[in-house]
Structure 1
Amino acid sequence: MCRTSPCGVAASPRRGPGLRKRRPSRDGPGLAGTGACPVPSPEDRGEGTAVDETALDKRAANHVPLTPVDFLRRAGAVYPGKIAVVHGDRRVTYGELWRRARALAAALTAMGIGRGDVVSILAPNTPAMLEAHYGVPLAGAVLNAINMRLDAPAVAFILQHAESRLLLVDRGFASLAAKALAGMTHKPAVVWIDDPAAIGEPPDALDYESFLAAADLSLPVAGVADEWDSLSLNYTSGTTGNPKGVVYHHRGAFLNAVGNALTFGLNPESVYLWTLPMFHCNGWTYPWAVTSVGGRHVCLRQFDAATVFRAIAEHKVTHLCAAPVVLTMLIHAPAEARIAFDHGPVQVATGGAAPPSAVIEGMERMGFRLTHLYGMTECYGPSAICAWQEEWGALPLEERAVLMARQGVNHVTVAAQTVLDTATGEPVPADGSTIGELALRSNTVMKGYLKNPKATEETLRDGWLHTGDLAVMHPDGYVEIKDRAKDIIITGGENVASLEVEEVLYRHPHVMEAAVVARPDEKWGETPCAFVTLKPGSEEAVTEADIIAFCRANMAHFKAPRTVVFGPLPKTSTGKIQKFVLREEAGKLT
């Protein structure tokens, strides 16, 4: 009997709800019915077939499932003595990293966790988090890296929705994990991870090092049977407040990692600093990309400008990825925190809000070279890059910044990127002014949303991943996003659904109406701004500080509004709140 699993994709015949393979026409949408004259077949021309397909079948020798796990398998064999991971005073070689990942897979297998089962992890950018990106899929299981910034109810929701079998939890987040598990009926097993820099009491559970030490490395592990097998499960904010579980497959992760290595110029001499959380789109697939070339991972448990500068200089860091807020913090770091480095420009990839010219200039002055990316959880992170053109170097900074701030062209492993008219579904003209919806088609697009076939069908309809972002296409083929649909707010690189914040606001006893929009912020890119109408007689009973405190007590702090404006809300004749008016008002606030 075939074992079922939460993701429902353990073996080829079992695809799960809404996650089946899609087989579009070989010609692709938009080519049928064009009246084009078909090319005559060899038989029509009275000839034999151009290629005799006899005995040219797929077989073990010529068709191997693509999986990023193979990157570490190869690196462990090719570079066994090379330093793969740096974490404080700790050094881990590629040979050791492979053995530890193999031990994790064996330990999971021994406790009955296998193909399609979900293993969650609540940890910062430490070696254990990196090991999980290999050991969990090597066991055939699905990795679920959880955002540490979430509150306990959100973590509990993810663990329940994913039906996690095991939770790996860093000691520093044991309290958060305990609160999340307290309200759950069906709890996952727990293994706690120790770390020299962690603060907090460990849970009453098996520790990670003992878990690995007891593993039988001779025990066979499931590995990868099909590249369409589920590899990881990442939760992203949903418009109703509950996050959606995005399911990745091995093929997509392999290809996106290779695309990142090519696009970002990674090589065996590369030293990558982990300023981007590995829980965010699996670190944009860089846990696999850096390993694919045998580069070095420098782990960073917590971001601090002084620590970043020190790490860059000490380890001669060549690459890092970061949200715009991180760049701003580096630029405005106090003089005593800055440490000069002279080993060449550090390549920095940033996504989210377009960096202003002052940020680009400030980063270049300090020895960084900036590349603007676009992506979303549904496409494994980066899907578009503002590819550098040589002639831009001769332009004044202000003109160059305008070009560099665009989202750009499709990633090397993204098959197609376009901007579609929201009414007709046809591509808009490349005039830089006609607005449509940014859409993607690629092997690096998610399988779908876990247990949500309706949302999967809506997002992947008509052969495209519909991003929900409104953009224009420029004459040179570069896209530029003009607005975000569904009122998603990006603060510090994290997505916040405005409806989720509004739901909390409406629970406040003095709030009658509420609407939340993005307010521009120099540090965070954007922050939630709440417009609130109080109930009659409540004007003297509540303040801005009271509203903010209430939100922070009922949701993750980064999602809570930082600004609250009281007064009547602008509405249409049908009673719909005019959020575009509120966005304009938020932009004027000082």
Structure 2
Amino acid sequence: MKTPLTPLDAVLRALALRPERPLLEEGGQTVSTAQFAGRTARLVTLLREQGLTSGGHVLLISPNSGDALLAFHAVPLAGGVIVPLNPAFGDEALRFLSGHADPVLALVDAAHLPRVAEALHKSGVPTLPIGAGSTLAGRLAGVAPAPLALPDRLDEDQPISINYTSGTTSDPKGVMLTHRGAFVNLANMLYHLDLRPGSVFLHALPLAHGNGWGCAWAVTAAGGTHVTLPELTPERLRAALLTGRVTHLCASPALLAPLADAAAPLSLPRPVRLAVAGTSPHPRLLGTLQAQGFEVLHSYGLTETSALLTLTDSADLAGLPDAPAVLARQGHPMIFGGQVRVVTPGGAPVPPDGATPGEVVIRSNQTMKGYYKNRAATRRALQNGWLHTGDVACVHPDGRLEILDRAGDLLSVAGQTVSSVEIEAVLYRHPSVREAVVVAAPGEGGGGDDLPVAFVTLHPGAGVQPRELLDFARPHLPPHALPTRIVFAPELPKTASGKVLKHALRAQARARAGGAVGD
């Protein structure tokens, strides 16, 4: 017998077990499994009454909230495809993507509804306000609960979600993640995060970002408790961790960097299992997090791979003399991650020498179905059964992957290829540096050479000067790789998911061309 692979099976099992256990904590209130299951069943009814049929797209625009989690459970159980858009996208992007996604229904947080209400009305898309200040609770009370069961004729190869990787209107990439891929992601997260009944998971990532790296479903499936903080700041993250309630966390280096401020040391009251992924974190940051009590998993993945796909587990590195450097690598494929290779432009595997760069290509059950209504981008990404990521990496003798850069982020300096990550890693060694990002500015005379420009944020109270940082970096870098300018900034421009907007920094670097070492 063959039944479709979907995370919904595990979700339904969890909703039927231990009805008294806490499933959600929000704003000081606790929602039991029985209460959450009842709300889910009623929302399934309401969605169908609003016209949702099998395969219909349901737009979700909401910060991390109990109602958003409710949507992640009810929409696919009603047979729909959830399309979460990060409210941190700009108004124009939200309006554009709200149309591009072809929704039949929209669930929009009441605070963000004015941003898209007119566009949805013109498109004839019914809208259900959710979140604080909405009438969702009253509307749910007025409908009968639907039986909680898998949708009829569920196809594991059909999308469970469409996740937009950015808010751009020029080349929209709505990643279609399937039930099968989400199931494999669920299995990986349950195993590697060691989620269990009683786990308390703090949602620091936007749920719109790869479905919270799949944890929208994984935490429920494990019998754990979701903790939501709709407006997450470094201060609120710190306060939540200091309660001693949180056992698990997924976060980007940008969100974690403020926790490493030496002027405000953090000591966790209990160990917290942490999956960190995104831009490559410096070993110093990872080491600080370990010293604070985090059990660090350093991962790599893309929205196109249902989020995380590889990892290095700090627990596996005990006794290694170079453990901090190894933890900074993105590691091996997860237990069900599939095949991850690093290849030359001709397609041959690079030697495992820890130096030769190549492109990361992936063949995995977690790989996307394609980009919604973007065949050209799908053809570029999926070639001969492999996902071409555009990420540049090397492979170490122990088989671990190390991301070096995006293909477009490598610099050509004095006729040599330089990784911006290599320069950033040196700058990160300085104790005053909180974030460091290196981009290319055009060289003089239009000869094609790049000039490395470093944009740096500092820990509060740090008094280092640009020339001091340059002198600090000089012994650790070849002369051609030294930044030509170091620009201090209070904050770096970031995407809605916390990744640095390098194109914005490149534009600044071009505008500042010819400036001094320090700006």
TM range (shorter): 0.7 to 0.9
Task: Provide the C-alpha distance between the structure 2 equivalents of 1:411 and 1:78, rounded to a whole number of angstroms.
Answer: 28
- Displacement over 6 Å in runs of 4+: 515-518
Structure 1 stretches of 5 or more lacking a match? 1-61, 196-201, 491-497, 499-514, 525-550, 571-584
Is 2:73 the partner of 1:134? yes
Q: What is the SS of the residue equivalent to 1:65?
A: coil
Structure 1 residue 111 displacement after superposition: 1.8
Aligned match of 1:405: 328
Structure 1 residue 243 displacement after superposition: 2.5
The amino acid across from 2:398 in the alignment is D
Contact 1:156 1:184 in 2 (8 A): no
- Superposed, 1:544-559 pairs within 5 Å as none
Aligned match of 2:401: 479
Contact 1:171 1:194 in 2 (8 A): yes
Q: What is the SS of the residue equivalent to 1:86?
A: strand
Is 2:3 the partner of 1:67? no
- Superposed, 1:550-589 pairs within 5 Å as 561=504, 564-565=508-509
Contact 2:280 2:403 in 1 (8 A): no
- Superposed, 1:73-84 pairs within 5 Å as 73-84=12-23
Structure 1 residue 322 displacement after superposition: 0.6
Distance 1:218 1:403, change over 3 A: closer
Is 2:16 the partner of 1:90? no
Is 2:194 the partner of 1:265? yes
Contact 2:93 2:169 in 1 (8 A): no
Task: Provide the C-alpha distance between the structure 2 equivalents of 1:183 and 1:212, rounded to a whole number of angstroms.
Answer: 22
| Alignment partner of 2:140 out of 192, 212, 219 | 212
Structure 1 residue 253 displacement after superposition: 0.5
Q: What is the SS of the residue equivalent to 1:564?
A: helix
Q: Deviations over 1:281-322 (max 9, x none)?
A: 110001111111101111111112332233223352111011
Structure 1 residue 182 displacement after superposition: 4.1
Distance 1:589 1:134, change over 3 A: farther
Is 2:338 the partner of 1:415? yes
Is 2:342 the partner of 1:342? no
Q: Deviations over 1:523-578 (max 9, x none)?
A: 79xxxxxxxxxxxxxxxxxxxxxxxxxx99xxx998584682466979xxxxxxxx
| Alignment partner of 2:382 out of 431, 447, 460 | 460
Q: Deviations over 1:33-63 (max 9, x none)?
A: xxxxxxxxxxxxxxxxxxxxxxxxxxxxx32
Structure 1 residue 242 displacement after superposition: 3.3
Aligned match of 1:379: 305
Aligned match of 1:29: none
Task: Provide the C-alpha distance between the structure 2 equivalents of 1:441 and 1:523, rounded to a whole number of angstroms.
Answer: 40
Distance 1:401 1:113, change over 3 A: same
Contact 1:81 1:95 in 2 (8 A): yes
Distance 1:240 1:483, change over 3 A: farther
Contact 1:82 1:94 in 2 (8 A): yes
Distance 1:240 1:139, change over 3 A: closer
Contact 1:325 1:523 in 2 (8 A): no
| Alignment partner of 2:359 out of 437, 443, 457 | 437
Is 2:80 the partner of 1:152? no
Contact 2:202 2:228 in 1 (8 A): yes
Structure 1 residue 187 displacement after superposition: 4.1
Structure 1 residue 135 displacement after superposition: 0.3
Task: Provide the C-alpha distance between the structure 1 equivalents of 2:51 and 2:120, rounded to a whole number of angstroms.
Answer: 25
The amino acid across from 1:216 in the alignment is A
Contact 2:107 2:130 in 1 (8 A): yes
The amino acid across from 1:469 in the alignment is D
- Superposed, 1:31-430 pairs within 5 Å as 62-178=1-117, 181-182=118-119, 185-195=122-132, 207-218=135-146, 222-223=151-152, 225-237=154-166, 241-314=170-243, 316-332=245-261, 335=264, 340-343=267-270, 345-388=271-314, 390=316, 392-395=317-320, 399-422=322-345, 424-430=346-352
Structure 1 residue 353 displacement after superposition: 1.9
The amino acid across from 1:156 in the alignment is R
The amino acid across from 1:304 in the alignment is T
Contact 1:160 1:184 in 2 (8 A): no
The amino acid across from 1:347 in the alignment is R
Task: Provide the C-alpha distance between the structure 2 equivalents of 1:148 and 1:518, rounded to a whole number of angstroms.
Answer: 31
Contact 2:90 2:167 in 1 (8 A): no
Distance 1:394 1:220, change over 3 A: closer
Task: Provide the C-alpha distance between the structure 2 equivalents of 1:318 and 1:133, rounded to a whole number of angstroms.
Answer: 22
Structure 1 residue 274 displacement after superposition: 0.8
Q: What is the SS of the residue equivalent to 1:475?
A: coil
Q: What is the SS of the residue equivalent to 2:12?
A: helix
Distance 1:557 1:265, change over 3 A: closer
Could you tell which deviates more after superposition, 374-383 or 557-566? 557-566
Aligned match of 2:471: none
Structure 1 residue 174 displacement after superposition: 2.6
Q: Deviations over 1:91-145 (max 9, x none)?
A: 1111221221121111111122111111111111111111111100011111011
Structure 1 residue 516 displacement after superposition: 13
Task: Provide the C-alpha distance between the structure 2 equivalents of 1:519 and 1:135, rounded to a whole number of angstroms.
Answer: 46
Identity among equivalent positions (%) equals 34
Distance 1:92 1:132, change over 3 A: same
Distance 1:454 1:518, change over 3 A: farther
Aligned match of 1:198: none
Task: Provide the C-alpha distance between the structure 2 equivalents of 1:207 and 1:272, rounded to a whole number of angstroms.
Answer: 27
TM-score (normalised: structure 2): 0.78
Contact 2:299 2:331 in 1 (8 A): yes
Q: Deviations over 1:302-344 (max 9, x none)?
A: 1123322332233521110111011112222874xx775433x
Distance 1:268 1:457, change over 3 A: same
RMSD over aligned CA atoms reads: 3.5
Q: Deviations over 1:343-368 (max 9, x none)?
A: 3x211111112221321232123222
Task: Provide the C-alpha distance between the structure 2 equivalents of 1:243 and 1:333, rounded to a whole number of angstroms.
Answer: 41
Could you tell which deviates more after superposition, 371-380 or 231-240? 231-240
Task: Provide the C-alpha distance between the structure 1 equivalents of 2:453 and 2:81, rounded to a whole number of angstroms.
Answer: 34
